[in-house]
Amino acid sequence: MRLRLDLAYRGEPFHGWARQPGLLTVQGRLEEALTLITRQPAQLTVAGRTDAGVHARGQVAHLDVPKEFWLSLSRGREESDELRGERLRARLEGLAGRGLNGALAIKQVRVVSRDFDARFSALSRTYRYLICDDPRAQDPCRLDIARTSSPLENERMQVAAQALCGEHDFLPFAKPREGATTVRTLHSFNISRPHDGIVQAMIRADAFCHSQVRFMMGALIEIGRGKYQPKWIGELLAAGARDQRVPLADGRGLTLWEVAYPPADQYALQAQKAKVVRTLPENSAS
């Protein structure tokens, strides 16, 4: 049986998603709990591997379990998959979330087809980034907002962000992984000011490279401060290499907002498309 897990978590107590020896991670905590519950080694596949301190509102993962285990979640009578899913959800949240003060929430557990792949079946990921640039707007109760000591010109940031939309090699804004492509398609990048003292960025792409959103935001924050002109983004893309002037924005302001999937009958086709390693045509402009 393949199960889809919809998750949310606060980034602060975790050293990111990916399991790391001796460190508290979202994957590590969940897999340990699932191993105890299912009584067999558990392995999760996730839609997006978040960095240390990064939050998630709409994270998605999948897990394969024996059918016998799934049926054993019934209490001696025929029950629907929805009830079994809710029973597993409650057990998993209680065990994995122990001692985390509400930092981890299991929103839903449901049966999906074997064609579903949390990573490769995804059509897009959307991230939100929040920045407070006015001390009067600071809220110590909000743990998902980065801070800057300089007022930001969000209109300049919005102009600059549009150069990032489309298909590009995002190596200038990524920590590349060996053997992996850094070509991505960024569908939209919208920067607004929803409240006085708060700048919000909503970024949607088919997928993101390691730390890509934080590097892009780091560059845009520098532009918003007036250190560089909006055209700097295009210059960085054209250079095609990492530039030490681009800072890594604080992970605290970043939240994985949503992961979108096609209809169930297109899971396998989308996964097949996503596994194709992309390159830009030779001599194409970034």
Rounded CA Rg of the chain: 20
The three-class DSSP label of residue 9 is strand
- Has 9 been labeled as part of a binding site? no
Select which of 6, 51, 117, 133 is catalytic: 51
φ, ψ dihedrals at 237, nearest 5°: -60, -45
Question: Using an 8 Å Cβ cutoff, are 195 and 139 in contact?
Answer: no
DSSP state of 88: H
Instruction: Calculate the alpha carbon distances from 183 to 82, 141, 247, 285 in Å.
Output: 39, 37, 20, 13
Can 265 be counted among the known catalytic residues? no
Continuous segment of H or E residues that includes residue 37: helix 26-38
Write 176-182 long-range contacts (CB < 8 A, 24+).
Answer: 176/209, 176/210, 177/209, 177/210, 180/209, 181/277, 181/278, 181/279, 182/209
123 CB-side CA count, 13 A: 9
Question: Cα(149)–Cα(36) distance, rounded to whole angstroms?
Answer: 46
Q: Cite the active site residues.
A: 51
Binding residues: 127
Binding residues for substrate: 127
